[in-house]
Amino acid sequence: MGLNGARPQVSGISGVKLLSREQAILEFNRRVLAQAQREDVPLIERLRYICIVSSNMDEFFEVRYADVLEASRTRGTGIGPQYIADVAKEAHQLVDDQYQIFNEVLGPALREAGVFILNHAHRNAEQREWVANFFHKQVQPLLVPIGLDPSHPFPQVANKTLNFIVRLGGRDAFGRDNDIAIVRIPRVLPRVIRLPDAISGGKQAFVLLSSIIRSHLEELFAGREIKAFSQFRLTRDSDIDVDEDDVTDLRQALRSKMSTRQFGQSVRLEVVFNCPDDLSGFLLEQFGLNQQALFRVNGPVNLVRLTQLIDQINADNLRFEPYQAGWPECLPQSGGMFEYLRHHDCLLHHPFESFDAVVGFLREAVYDPDVLAIKQTIYRTGSESVLMELLLEAVRRGKEVLAVVELKARFDEEANINWAERLEALGAQVVYGIVGLKTHGKMMLITRREGGRLRRYAHLSTGNYNPKTAQLYTDLGYLTSNLELTGDVDMIFSQLSSLTQQRSARQLLLAPFSMQDQQIKLIRKVADAAQAGKSARIVLKLNSLTDGPLIEALIEAGQAGVSIDLIVRGACVLPPGIDGLTDNIRVRSVVGRMLEHTRILYFRWGDGEANEALYLSSADWMNRNMTRRIEVAWPVRDTTLRQRVIDECLVPYLMDGLDAWRLLSDGRYERVSQDGFSAQQALMARHRAVC
């Protein structure tokens, strides 16, 4: 495995050839897919991992692969046809493996568990009658077959929609022999339908919408013979590109662009495995694609929609045991957070500790008459958000509210625009960050009147203000009233709103200004200690590691004798274990029940607490995070809290033998072991709520 035709990526003076970023992304999805094969994972959850891989691959093609295709059309990028072909080959193999697992492993296991997906051949007479009735009443009235001729051109096909292409025999109603028709399937129709228990024979029986339409296609073309047909699904470039220097209203420009997102450049075509060559070739020609963009799949062309099946299966024994997060020990549950935070900082470890603590912090601020102002960044909050509703309530109660809304949060643009408009309508101050930069830092600042003076309280986080994803993503939150930290946060909000130059931060590392340089200085400080014969250690926990200057600094530090452990969930292009070059660097990835999302930076350049530093951050080590985003990293200087981060978020993940994978120097990953200790399971046991 590997991308032999990859563009050369060589880090600075070290001469280490870096791995392909596209390969790194596909390798991550292989690790997720491996979860679907684990017999120690409940069956429905294994199916969920299949759906996650499909969703991830959709985004890979919509964004990353689309960008690579665009770059291949530009001279000087180093991306040529062979590299594109190699990426496509890897993607094809991954998708083939995914369907093989779905058909040969999970399908039989589901049937054994009493869950059946019935196609037309497997439905009995009573079930076929029910399906026919459903088709006639619920489906057929919404379908509009399009027969193609000069006055009926090929219809617009939106991104990731289900469609059928049909080749017809005979002549149409006007005596002509046009033989191709397209049927677009509306998104409003459910993709998975559960059959009534009365006709399911004591089983949980489901039918797919595609199967229902397939078995009644001839009814859409009365008087014509159906000679061949296939489902198909088109993936398009879905990144929204707005020239911010050339617009006067970013919100309006994004709204306009969102209306055309569904019809971006074509990048991938999925058809069923037995689609005739003439039909697939016709579709490729219509969409301007070549053969390597064609994916023949042995099953539904959109496995993501099987989440509807997961939601409808009634079998708790086939799911993960429900987890109820405990309330953080450091915080009172019934008010009084500000009193506690006047004297102590507080670390929140989600989802093992409840995100309700963050909601409670904001709620206490909203209803506290002594709180005068609330400032918050909004990146991915979701279309429904208790936090945003609380901000609206704060405005109603007369508090000064500043919301820094990132309108360009990919695939969340519409939700963020809607929240921004609702906040503005009530009188909140809403700004959209800095032209050319995404505001990705997660910050909340509360200003409260106490004893005749003002005091600030801050919440900083490695993850988004989204209660739903906070139940699935591992993240760290930090509550503090530290004067320097809260002063730095206030300074950032002032800069984002006023656009004026501010003082340098006292404790925070801030991108795109100082973060990259200061992190490189910390790496070199550790390297100097190693060369002086002192204890030297770097441990990083990230989602992605692709930034060239930071990778170069790590390689040089490893060559200086620093022991480096990198816990990188997703894409990592630094190849470890190369003799004489990166043999002091180890890379592992942990893929388990929760999505690892914390960003933790640990540096030690000698013995004792005075010679170590630990930062938490909103930023991955990617070039875009360092140079094109507003990001923050903050130090954990409280000795007890710093040790807690080490004990909960670093050491267990370095010891994990159940969910961990080891990166090899050629870019492949191997599982560390098949059993043993799981960091996530241990943390769940430690923080589980006592009912």
50 exposure class (CB count in 10 Å sphere: 0-12, 13-18, 19+): buried
Which pLDDT band, with edges at 50, 70 and 90, does 7 fall under? Answer: low
Structure tokens at 173: 């109603």
Residue range 406-448, pLDDT digits in tens: 876 566 677 888 888 899 999 899 888 777 788 899 999 999 9
- Between CA 13 and CA 517 the distance in angstroms is 18
Residue 159 lies in a domain: yes
* Stated pTM of the model: 0.93
Q: How far is CA 530 from CA 13, 334, 535, 545, 562, in A?
A: 19, 49, 6, 23, 6
Structure tokens at 495: 């800069």
Residues spanned by the domain of 123 = 115-245+264-313
Q: Look at the alpha carbons of 473, 475, 480, 484 in this order and tell me if their dihedral is positive or negative.
A: negative
Residue 595 lies in a domain: yes
In a shared domain, residues 538 and 673: yes
Helix (H, G, I), strand (E, B) or coil at 438: strand
Q: Are 101 and 37 in contact (CB under 8 A)?
A: yes
Q: Are 204 and 370 in contact (CB under 8 A)?
A: no
- Between CA 345 and CA 217 the distance in angstroms is 64
Among 66, 98, 113, where does a domain finish? 113
pLDDT of residue 262: 74
For residue 281, the domain's CATH number is 3.30.1840.10
Number of H helices, E strands in the chain: 21, 27
Whether 440 sits among the annotated catalytic residues: the reply is yes
Which pLDDT band, with edges at 50, 70 and 90, does 330 fall under? Answer: confident
Alpha helices in 548-592 (DSSP H): 548-559
> With 80 as the cut, is the pLDDT of residue 176 above it?
no
Which DSSP state fits 10? B
Residue type, 432: Y
Residue range 344-376, pLDDT digits in tens: 999 999 999 999 999 999 999 999 999 999 999
> With 90 as the cut, is the pLDDT of residue 292 above it?
yes
Q: Are 267 and 68 in contact (CB under 8 A)?
A: no
Q: Are 232 and 289 in contact (CB under 8 A)?
A: no
Q: Across residues 279-307, what is the average pLDDT? A: 96
Give the whole-number percent of the chain exceeding pLDDT 90. Answer: 78
In a shared domain, residues 154 and 201: yes
Among 484, 504, 524, where does a domain finish? 504
When the pLDDT of each residue in the chain is averaged and rounded to a whole number, the result is: 91
The widest CA-to-CA distance across the chain, in whole angstroms, is 90
Left (φ > 0), alpha (ψ -120 to 50) or beta: where does 581 sit? alpha
- Between CA 484 and CA 458 the distance in angstroms is 11
For residue 467, the domain's CATH number is 3.30.870.10
- Between CA 345 and CA 357 the distance in angstroms is 14
Residue range 672-689, pLDDT digits in tens: 987 889 999 999 999 997
> With 50 as the cut, is the pLDDT of residue 8 above it?
no
In a shared domain, residues 268 and 134: yes
pLDDT of residue 178: 79
In a shared domain, residues 487 and 355: yes
Which pLDDT band, with edges at 50, 70 and 90, does 6 fall under? Answer: very low
Helix (H, G, I), strand (E, B) or coil at 343: coil
In a shared domain, residues 151 and 219: yes
DSSP string for residues in 104-143: IIIHHHHHHTTEEE--GGG--HHHHHHHHHHIIIIIGGG-
CB count, 10 Å around CB of 540? Answer: 24
In a shared domain, residues 85 and 157: no
Residue range 472-493, pLDDT digits in tens: 999 999 999 999 999 999 999 9
Which pLDDT band, with edges at 50, 70 and 90, does 382 fall under? Answer: confident
For residue 52, the domain's CATH number is 1.20.58.310
> With 50 as the cut, is the pLDDT of residue 652 above it?
yes
The pairing of strands 115-117 and 204-208 is: parallel
In a shared domain, residues 388 and 403: yes
Which residue has tokens 């990144």?
A: 239
Helix (H, G, I), strand (E, B) or coil at 336: coil
- Per 3-state DSSP, the chain is made up of helix, strand and coil in percentages (nearest 5) of 40, 25, 35
Say which of 440, 459, 597, 687 is annotated catalytic. Answer: 440
pLDDT of residue 243: 54
> With 60 as the cut, is the pLDDT of residue 385 above it?
yes
Closest C-alpha among 414, 386, 383, 388 to residue 401: 388
Residue 331 lies in a domain: no
pLDDT of residue 690: 61
In a shared domain, residues 442 and 308: no
> With 50 as the cut, is the pLDDT of residue 570 above it?
yes
Closest C-alpha among 529, 530, 508 to residue 519: 508
In a shared domain, residues 74 and 26: yes
CB count, 10 Å around CB of 4? Answer: 10
pLDDT of residue 498: 85
Residue 659 lies in a domain: yes
Q: Are 171 and 289 in contact (CB under 8 A)?
A: no
Residue type, 645: V
Q: Are 540 and 621 in contact (CB under 8 A)?
A: yes
Q: Are 486 and 458 in contact (CB under 8 A)?
A: yes
Q: Across residues 39-60, what is the average pLDDT? A: 96
Residue 323 lies in a domain: no
In a shared domain, residues 397 and 491: yes
Residue 209 lies in a domain: yes
Residue range 63-109, pLDDT digits in tens: 999 989 988 888 777 788 899 999 999 999 999 999 999 999 999 99
Characterize 329-357 residue by residue with b for buried, 16 or more Cβ atoms within 10 angstroms of its Cβ, and e for exposed. Answer: ebbeeeeebbeebeeebbbbbbbbbbbbb
Residue 344 lies in a domain: yes
Which pLDDT band, with edges at 50, 70 and 90, does 691 fall under? Answer: very low
In a shared domain, residues 561 and 596: yes
Structurally, how many domains does the chain consist of? 4
> Which carries the bigger pLDDT value, residue 501 or residue 490?
490
Which DSSP state fits 673? -
Q: Across residues 558-571, what is the average pLDDT? A: 97
- Between CA 19 and CA 10 the distance in angstroms is 9
Side by side, the strands of the sheet bearing 204-208 are 115-117, 204-208, 192-194
pLDDT of residue 160: 94
- Between CA 660 and CA 679 the distance in angstroms is 9
In a shared domain, residues 389 and 459: yes
Residue range 233-287, pLDDT digits in tens: 999 998 766 555 554 556 565 565 556 667 789 999 999 999 999 999 999 999 9
Alpha-carbon Rg of the chain, whole angstroms? 27
Residue 250 lies in a domain: no
